[in-house]
Amino acid sequence: MDHKDVLSKVKEENVKFVSLQFTDVTGAVKSLDIPVNRLNVALNEGIWFDGSSVEGFARIQESDMRLVPDPATYALLPWSPADMRRARIFCEIYQPDESPFLGDPRGTLKRMLAQIEVRGWTYNVGPEPEFFLFKHNGPTIHPVPQDVGGYFDFSASDAAVRVRTELMDALAGMGLEVEMGHHEVALGQHEIDFEYDEALRTADNVLTLKYTVKAIAAQHELVASFMPKPIFGINGSGMHCHQSLFDRQGKNLFFDPNEKYGLSKLAYGFIAGQLAHARALSAVVAPTVNSYKRLVPGYEAPVYIGWAQINRSALIRIPRYTPGREKSIRAELRCPDPSANPYLALTVMLAAALDGIDNNLSVPEPLNEINVYHLTPEDRVAMNIAELPGSLAEALRLLEGDKVLQEALGPATYESFTRAKWAEVEEYRMRVMDWEVERYLEVA
């Protein structure tokens, strides 16, 4: 879709306002709303804004920045009222001297993808974002699940089914190829999957899904949360990412019909790179202090670094190959969660994989038919199975030592991301939690 197509579309759909969207370094969606009569100017010249108040953007003495809309990302916001119909367009960010702003998360991913475009490759990703639907619970912040369903549960009269169906319809209307939606393991937990796509569009789609789910949930007087671990003692929300590399002819470069698991040498290098960088990678793909309350044994979240076919306790899973479906060969990375900024997460995931490919890193033996959770610490040491970091602080220290991932993010994005995340760690460190009061108030 080009400029003319967008201008024609807003007229056809009776759009009154357009939200020009981008994210800060943490992944929060930001928006400037313009009346539709300003859209032509925005498409041709961009829109100036003050970047000094946006996390990870310009300092106050150099705050002027310019949003340049990407017309290919135009979509109607179906929940907006008909008399005030709104659409959205994702934007790229430029500095006053016309150069791209190097701290723009979307631009960071585009620069990473340019490295494989010259090789004739496309990085395809199919994410599986999980989320909770909670009831409004008055003045308390303790979440109450909307339903009492479990994995794949269905009831024709279940309010959760009706909301999830409405969500899927809205997402399809915004251009996502929705594959399925279903109830997840925990009470009030759901998943909506959409078809894999090239990485930039996939990252856009993750953001679209997140704020669409939140907007429509709010219309039903529900709270939608992509928090990784909102409730103690039950499963948290992950965002497993199915990945593959294709060439320009649409051939899946991961496939080798003569190999035991159907995987090519390039696929093995890809997997080896992500395993080698997994501990530092965690800082970006599981980027909150809460993320590490999900990444613990016992709740289906991966903790131990290894790969396997079928085995869901492994960090990277290779779904079983079905003859005739060569395009479906993929590597499923299971540690990301939906609190991640999708642009930065895919940036470092690809950087790690390319390091494995370019340096011919070798994969360890697969963990097939081994439940790693049942191994003793001594067993894991003997098998050379490492663990993901146990906290955001540990992950950030590991990222400090990973030059490959730092280079992929670039100095501006890396500095602003780590500054924001260390501030989060420090604030968390100083807060007094309910658990501490219950445990220590009368016994300490």
Q: Of the residues 147, 184, 193, 424, which is catalytic?
A: 184
Q: Is 240 a catalytic residue?
A: yes
Taking phi over 0 as left and psi of -120 to 50 as alpha, with beta for the rest, 262 belongs to left
Residue 31 and residue 423 in contact, taking contact as beta carbons nearer than 8 Å: no
**pLDDT given for residue 390 in this prediction:** 94
- Residue 362, pLDDT > 50, answer yes
CATH number of 110-437: 3.30.590.10
State the span(s) of the chain assigned CATH 3.10.20.70.
3-97
Measured distance CA(344)–CA(148) in Å, rounded = 35
Q: Is 33 a catalytic residue?
A: no
DSSP letter at 361 equals: P
242 has which bridge partners? 126, 332
Sign of CA dihedral 32, 170, 331, 114: negative
CATH number of 3-97: 3.10.20.70
CB within 8 Å of 47: residues ≥ 6 apart: 20, 32, 34, 38, 41, 66, 67
Average the pLDDT over each of 132-141, 267-276, 372-381 and give the range with the smallest value: 132-141
- Residue that the structure tokens 């899946």 belong to: 252
Q: Of the residues 24, 104, 128, 337, which is catalytic?
A: 128
Q: Of the residues 66, 334, 337, 424, which is catalytic?
A: 334
Instruction: Give per-residue pLDDT as tens, 316-339.
Output: 999 877 777 788 899 999 999 999
- Report the predicted TM-score, pTM, of the whole model to 2 decimal places: 0.93
Q: Is 97 a catalytic residue?
A: no
**How many angstroms separate the Cα of 93 from the Cα of each of 86, 102, 242?**
22, 9, 29
Q: Is 426 a catalytic residue?
A: no
Q: Residue type at 286? A: A
Q: Is 294 a catalytic residue?
A: no
**pLDDT given for residue 57 in this prediction:** 60
**pLDDT given for residue 189 in this prediction:** 87
Residue 15 and residue 83 in contact, taking contact as beta carbons nearer than 8 Å: no
Q: Of the residues 104, 191, 256, 424, which is catalytic?
A: 191
317 backbone dihedrals φ, ψ, rounded to 5°: -110, 140
State the span(s) of the chain assigned CATH 3.30.590.10.
110-437
Q: Is 424 a catalytic residue?
A: no
198 has which bridge partners? 124
Measured distance CA(426)–CA(53) in Å, rounded = 21
- Residue 395, pLDDT > 90, answer yes
Instruction: Give per-residue pLDDT as tens, 235-259.
Output: 889 999 999 999 999 999 999 988 8
Measured distance CA(184)–CA(193) in Å, rounded = 12
Q: Is 407 a catalytic residue?
A: no
